[in-house]
Amino acid sequence: MIYSDDLLAVAKRIFWFGTPEEALEFPKRFLTYAMTYASDQDIDILRKYFSDDDFKATLDDPAPGIFNRSSWAKWNERYNRTPVPPLPKRQFRASIPLLSPISFHPSLETAT
pTM over 0.85: no
Return per-residue pLDDT of the chain as tens, 112 residues: 789 999 999 999 999 999 999 999 999 999 999 999 999 999 999 999 999 999 999 999 998 889 999 999 999 999 999 999 998 877 666 665 555 555 555 555 555 5
* CA torsion, ordered 33, 93, 89, 18, to nearest 10 deg: -10
The C-alpha atoms of residue 19 and residue 8 are separated, in whole angstroms, by 9
